[in-house]
A and B are shown apart, each in its own frame.
Chain A
Amino acid sequence: MAMLEVNNLKTHFKTQDGVVKAVDGVSFSLEPGEVMGIVGESGSGKSVTALSVMQLNPKPPAEYPEGEILFEGQDLLWVPEKRMQQIRGNDIAMIFQDPMTSLNPVFTVGNQIREAIRIHQDVSKTEANEMTVQVLKDVGIANPEGQAKGYPHQFSGGMRQRAMIAMALSCNPKVLIADEPTTALDVTIQAQILELMVGLQEKYGTAIVMITHDLGVVAQIADKVMVMYAGRAVERATTDDVFYDPLMPYSFSLLRSLPRLDTAGEVKLLPIKGTPPSLIFLPEGCNFHPRCPFAKDECREVDPILEEKKPGHEAACILSVEEIEASKSRVDQELGVGT
């Protein structure tokens, strides 16, 4: 059994305008030590999926009409809040995109890490102090004793994210959910943070869920990938399969719409027309059909399910593998990819 298994998760929000189906039937599983990337644009349900696993969506308006989130066999949707508090931070930890707003400005960084340790572990104040200094050292903060006494505003963006990672790792969690951890950072700092995360993952065997819109980051660190669009998983496979042989037109379009450092200027960009759909009024048929470069008439009526197209490679598209591959090579030729 997988360590974390999410089955047909639905997270809906009741609003005055209607029900927002932020997550609408998402499944995935995570083994110990595995790194999974969740890719998608804003509003695709990546963060809500993560917050559902952490049980951090405010209820109401959040509702879970269906699905289960099994962590080591127990369904997190049904465990009492008291038990959830033990799991949260201790077994499953999360780091957020913006390190400034996720640290409390009126307490020292050391104070906040110490608090996390003291809540989850039965240790004395001095022991907690030593552990705090140790985790700060682990994440590469120079002069950890001194920096532990510093306030968040005295830290740079990269250091704050390091401090967040230190806090998340202080209890040695089994799963670390990282929600766009490097989006707010410069590339040189991003490289530092990613290197740090990979190093810690190797050292402690933590499983990581990496949520990002940056396909390069996923290519760099993930073993497998789930692509999300309008609240659903539309493709699931190993990282290599998704990048070299995408079988859902959305993943393919996303890969071709972004300039990449190695080929930029030599190939044309494939613009994805239109905008992401409203999660209240989803299009009939396939959610992606109004923007899909391969869509045919049937796509307007049939809502595709995520199914195995090739061994270990699932995609939600009614086109056959042959049709998708023919369309892909046609588009690639127009763009000048691979010539």
Chain B
Amino acid sequence: MSEAANGSLTGNGHLSGGRNGRSGERPGENLLETRNLKMHFPIKAGVLRRTVGHVKAVDGVDLEIRKGETLGLVGESGCGKSTFARLVLRLLEPTEGEVLFEGEDILGYDRKQMLGVRRNMQIIFQDPYASLNPRMSVGNIVAEPLKTHKVGEGPERKKRVQELLEVVGLSPEHYNRYPHEFSGGQRQRIGVARAIALNPRLIICDEPVSALDVSIQAQVVNLLEDLQKEFDLTYVFIAHDLSVVKHISDRVAVMYLGKIVEVADRKDLYNNPRHPYTASLLSAIPVPDPRKERERQRVVLTGDVPSPANPPSGCPFHTRCPRAQDYCAENTPPLEPQESENHRAACFFPVREGQRIEEAATSTPYRVE
């Protein structure tokens, strides 16, 4: 990588240095942490546009992202995954809560300070057709973050952009072309080049492969993995496809109706899900293996995800949960450690190893306040 990305940023000593400053990092430390993060969008109605309610898109999320890891964030559409991504980057102002980057709450930062933080936090969007300006050349698109952060100039900047294009598997000759000349997979590569241009530490990948053709997905997934190794990146990988998330993540968090319902190391979560929602989600995914499919026991959840404007009382999942008891409708389960500190689930009647999801749980909740 060129040194061009390592220009200093005045006033933000702790953020400058880019990759060189990272050598002393210990893995396992938190790079980013959210505390009780909430985003309640007001619903306005009537002539006076009075607020009549709130869509609780993100409703109290505590999550930590460790240096160098890939945290997978999964959930069905409308569960608040993308809103969470935008809150972390402060593209949306949260209603409540804290976002700590390197231990400092960035919500209190002013514009200038925020600019410094954003240099270290980038995002790759889902739709490679909507996220690239059709009137800008590829070179200008990738150079945009360099321009904003005043990194390099003229020929130096151009050289850096061409380098970046090569890093993501495009050709430097693509510099003067326009987005419409590229296929979906190539466009996503342009998006990736833009995201890594400033040598950030954290990249939030918001469904980066969902819009791509099946044969192209693996190209982009492999590229993201290679870049992570090469540039010590930390990823938050948001997707609804649990297979892709399993492939790429170290830890996985499952979201339902704006809340994290389970978070664990990849293996624990997939082999030994505690939360009935995680377990039923995993059982719903078809595997490209006809014999396994014939033998599989599926837990088919009934009904749809409730509206986040009017979430159920108590546990948000109790309306669809095969294990729910009366207790679940009245009390909200906290996200609590299961057998290890790393495996947390928000359920009063967690699924035990080897147990079937719909098997009736004991009538005493796992945890009674």
Decide if B293 touches A220 in the complex (CB within 8 Å).
yes
Q: Which residues of A contact B289 (CB under 8 A)?
A: 219, 243, 260, 262
Decide if B304 touches A158 in the complex (CB within 8 Å).
yes
Decide if A188 touches B280 in the complex (CB within 8 Å).
yes
B83 at the interface (CB under 8 A from A): no
Main secondary structure of the interface of B (DSSP, over half): helix
- Of B214, B248, B288, most buried by chain A (CB within 10 Å of CB) is B288
Which A residues between 204 and 251 are near B, CB-CB below 8 angstroms?
213-220, 239-240, 243-244
A75 at the interface (CB under 8 A from B): no
Decide if B288 touches A264 in the complex (CB within 8 Å).
no
Decide if B282 touches A258 in the complex (CB within 8 Å).
no
- Residues of chain A at interface, number, CB under 8 A: 45
Decide if A187 touches B284 in the complex (CB within 8 Å).
yes
A329 at the interface (CB under 8 A from B): no
B89 at the interface (CB under 8 A from A): no
Q: Given A264-B247, A272-B219, answer yes or no on A191-B304 (Cβ-Cβ < 8 Å).
A: no
- Of A188, A194, A257, A273, most buried by chain B (CB within 10 Å of CB) is A188
Which among B30-38, B157-165, B238-246 touches the partner chain? B238-246
Question: How near does chain A come to B107, taking the closest CB pair, in angstroms?
Answer: 31
Chain B minimum-CB-distance residue to A253: B215
Decide if A187 touches B266 in the complex (CB within 8 Å).
no
A280 at the interface (CB under 8 A from B): no
| Cβ contact of B214, chosen from A186, A219, A257, cutoff 8 A | A257
Decide if A265 touches B285 in the complex (CB within 8 Å).
no
Q: Mark A172-209, 1 if CB is under 8 A from B, else 0.
A: 00000000000000111111101100000000000000
B1 at the interface (CB under 8 A from A): no
Q: Which residues of A contact B243 (CB under 8 A)?
A: 258-261, 264
Q: Mark B217-260, 1 if CB is under 8 A from A, else 0.
A: 11101100000000000000000101110111000000000000
Question: How near does chain B come to A27, taking the closest CB pair, in angstroms?
Answer: 23
Q: Which residues of A contact B270 (CB under 8 A)?
A: 261
Decide if A272 touches B218 in the complex (CB within 8 Å).
yes
Q: Which residues of A contact B242 (CB under 8 A)?
A: 187, 261
Q: Contacts A41-B215, A187-B284, A258-B218 given; 7 further ones with Cβ under 8 A?
A: A187-B76, A188-B281, A188-B284, A254-B215, A257-B217, A258-B214, A259-B221
Please give the residue numbers on chain A whose beta carbons come within 8 Å of chain B beta carbons, in ascending order: 41-42, 156, 158-159, 186-192, 194-195, 213-220, 239-240, 243-244, 253-255, 257-262, 264-265, 269-273, 275-276, 291
